[in-house]
Structure 1
Amino acid sequence: MNEDHLDIKTPEYVSIQFQLAGLGSRAAAFIIDQLLLTVFNILTLVALYFVMDGMSSMPFFLTDSMLPVAITIIILFIVNGGYFFAFEFFSGGRTLGKKVVGIRVIQENGHSITLLSSFIRNLIRIIDSLPTAYFLGILMIFFHSKHKRLGDLVAGTIVVHERKAKRKKKLTPIEKEIENRGLSKDDLFIDEWTLKSVGMKEWKLISTYVSRFHQVPLEERNQLTKQMAEILFPKLGMEIQGKSESEMEDTLLSLYLLLRDEWEFEL
């Protein structure tokens, strides 16, 4: 196996290959994130200056000059301290810098990063930044076989390059079906917490359903659609009762589009 690639076998015995993100791409993403935070910090301090300047013309007994300062300090602390944690968990392991560079954080088992893992790896970021200029983190990423810093080791995470969804010049029969129905992944709203509960098992179910969609007679397809809905809808907080076969099909096909970007990819 190439040292820049990692093969992972999921609990469902599916082998997935990831391209590890090295020091260069991770440093580029980090620099972008730091520039964004710096811009935010400067704008916040400028806003504080104008607020304080406006308050200076007011009678002293109508103002509390320390209140804007205290609020600004709290805002800066929350944003700078929670930026990496929040983006990595709620945006699929991607900060804004990582999105630009095309890398993401995932669990070592190939699944999306968890809330606890995101918290741990970013808490350890304090140690990785020692003694200065992220020196320890740089050394760890450079010398570790999987390009891990200390936070990744403790949290059980890896940073990999994004994998693009397969694009075919000619539409497949199911893609034509979806296009004819006018469906898109935006037709189905699933909150982030619920979506994270969907794993490889559910993806294999929906992809199998899609692959057989045009291969079985209509009556058998209706039975298959109902079975799939009974399995997947409750997990996603959806009601089955009152839905026609056509409506259930549309929902399942939209779900396929939504999950495809996460699970159907190539290096």
Structure 2
Amino acid sequence: MSHEQMEVKTPEYVSLQFSLAGLGSRAAAFIIDQTLIMLFNIAFFISVLLVSDKLSSYTTFFEGSTVGIAIVIIVIFIVNYGYFFFLEFFTGGRTLGKKIVGIRVIQDNGHSITLLSSFIRNIMRLIDALPTGYFLGIIMVFFHSKHKRLGDLVAGTIVVHERKPKRKKKKLTGIEKVIEERGLSKESLGVDEWTLKSFKDKDWKLVKTYASRLQQLPETERYQMTRQIADILLPKIGVDVVGKPEYELENTLLVLYLHLRDEWEYEL
């Protein structure tokens, strides 16, 4: 099945192509997400009623389940909107429904969604849901050239299909050969999503430049550069560089390069 394509030019003048997610795939992901949220709402509502009923036997505070119902309303509101906000930011633009369908939210410039963008696009669900059944959002996605709802327009985001990894083994670059020869992978260094979000574009450019120059420098200069960059970047992931040999620092920086490459660089 073919999808509409969108081309994005990054500030570095690199052209990236994405397949736009249309109404069908977005609706499928939304139905899955809403089903999960509804199951949680029902289970939570029943749990609060049972607990408040038991507590009312000991205190008048919960009589008539007024407090219990108020708690349910507040929590359900937080879950309904917080679910999309937190998952889209902390899991690379993917809710559980989006992950199953194979779509994700990114910014218009091709980068991962930011905390502010996630907050804006999801608080705008209150308007996209008007007058009922997400009617306004459906109409916007159907007629907009890039399948954007109002939340996407305000937040500067777009929903695209995930890139499926090519089965054909591509030719490895020089640094990828080094990483493979050393037996390194992303699993060699555990970095959580929150920590990855703390790295900026300048950090990615620094570690990318380091990886590209690693093989070109004599050993003395290479180790000196490794030490300097390790002092800047590795404390951000909680790695103490004092007393560690340069070869170990090299390996850690190369694994960090793999993590940040998945976050900042989109391969066509």
**TM-score w.r.t. structure 2 length?**
0.82
Tell me the equivalent position of 2:28: 28
Give 1:76 shift.
1.5
Cα gap change, 1:197 to 1:10, in 2 (>3 Å) = farther
CA distance in 1, matches of 2:12, 2:55: 63
Matched to 1:142, the amino acid is F
Q: Is the 8 A contact 2:112 2:263 kept in 1?
A: no
Question: Within the alignment, does 1:140 sit opposite 2:143 as a pair?
Answer: no
Q: What SS does the corresponding residue of 1:17 show, helix, strand or coil? A: strand
Tell me the equivalent position of 1:130: 130
Question: Within the alignment, does 1:262 sit opposite 2:255 as a pair?
Answer: no
How many residues end up aligned between the 2 structures?
Answer: 265
- Unpaired runs of 5+ residues, structure 2, are none
Task: State the Cα RMSD in Å.
Answer: 3.1
Q: Is the 8 A contact 1:166 1:264 kept in 2?
A: no
Matched to 2:254, the amino acid is L
Question: Within the alignment, does 1:66 sit opposite 2:66 as a pair?
Answer: yes
CA distance in 1, matches of 2:58, 2:199: 58
Which shifted more, 210-219 or 113-122?
A: 210-219
Tell me the equivalent position of 2:243: 242
CA distance in 1, matches of 2:9, 2:235: 28
Tell me the equivalent position of 1:203: 204
Tell me the equivalent position of 1:7: 7
CA distance in 1, matches of 2:19, 2:227: 38
Q: What SS does the corresponding residue of 1:148 show, helix, strand or coil? A: coil
Tell me the equivalent position of 1:17: 17
Q: Is the 8 A contact 1:188 1:251 kept in 2?
A: yes
Give 1:171 shift.
8.2
Q: Is the 8 A contact 1:165 1:264 kept in 2?
A: no
CA distance in 1, matches of 2:199, 2:164: 20
Cα gap change, 1:123 to 1:61, in 2 (>3 Å) = closer
CA distance in 1, matches of 2:168, 2:3: 30
Matched to 1:254, the amino acid is V
Cα gap change, 1:171 to 1:156, in 2 (>3 Å) = closer
**TM-score w.r.t. structure 1 length?**
0.83
Question: 1:208-264 CA deviation, whole Å, 9 max, x = no partner?
Answer: 433444454433432342343355346666554433211211211110221233344
Cα gap change, 1:61 to 1:143, in 2 (>3 Å) = closer
Q: What SS does the corresponding residue of 1:198 show, helix, strand or coil? A: coil
Tell me the equivalent position of 2:46: 46
Cα gap change, 1:36 to 1:3, in 2 (>3 Å) = closer
Tell me the equivalent position of 2:84: 84
Q: Is the 8 A contact 2:112 2:264 kept in 1?
A: no
Give 1:23 shift.
1.0
Question: 1:102-154 CA deviation, whole Å, 9 max, x = no partner?
Answer: 11111112222222221211121111111221111111111111111111111
Which shifted more, 111-120 or 160-169?
A: 160-169
Query: Which has the bigger relative contact order, CA under 8 A and spacing at least 6?
Result: 1
CA distance in 2, matches of 1:28, 1:215: 49
